[in-house]
Amino acid sequence: MANGDEESAVFAPVYDDHGLIPAIVMDANDGSVVMLAYMNAQALRLSLETGEAHYWSRSRQELWRKGATSGDTQKIVDIRMDCDQDTVLLSVIMAGRGVACHTGRHSCFYRRVGRSSQGYKLETI
């Protein structure tokens, strides 16, 4: 617990040592988990103010409005914080192609970990 108050009504997001908070993204239509992204304080503020999902791209080191180039924007229906306010859960309606993943898939979680003769492998669903 960062602030010791899991019952608080005070909105006080806790950022990591890179100034980021992870955001789990759910498809509001079916409740499925489609991606995990990261927000800095600005991305979270813009997400709240505009209702459009904004993230921080760790690879490009820049603010990123989801779908700005692809058209696959995310309209936020609901934002929740977890008990210690160091994770965000977004419920979104996906516009454009209705996909969250940069591979063009609905969800980034399209591979299951399975056993292989040498250990583990990924199986595309």
Which residues sit at the interface with a second copy, rule CB under 8 A? 1, 6-11, 22, 24, 26, 31-33, 35-36, 48, 59, 78-84, 87, 89, 101-103, 105, 108-113, 119-125
Q: How far is the CB of 68 from a second copy (least distance, A)?
A: 19
Closer of 93 and 123 to a second copy (Cβ): 123
Q: How far is the CB of 97 from a second copy (least distance, A)?
A: 16
Q: Residue 47 is encoded by which pair of tokens?
A: 């997400």
Q: How far is the CB of 95 from a second copy (least distance, A)?
A: 20
Q: How far is the CB of 73 from a second copy (least distance, A)?
A: 19
**Is the Cα torsion angle 79, 34, 92, 96 positive or negative in sign?**
positive
Q: Residue 41 is encoded by which pair of tokens?
A: 């304080």
Q: Is 90 left (phi over 0), alpha (psi -120 to 50) or beta?
A: beta
In the block, residue with structure tokens 């908070």: 21
Closer of 19 and 123 to a second copy (Cβ): 123
In the block, residue with structure tokens 């056993």: 115
How far is 36 from 97, CA to CA, in rounded Å? 18
Closer of 68 and 83 to a second copy (Cβ): 83
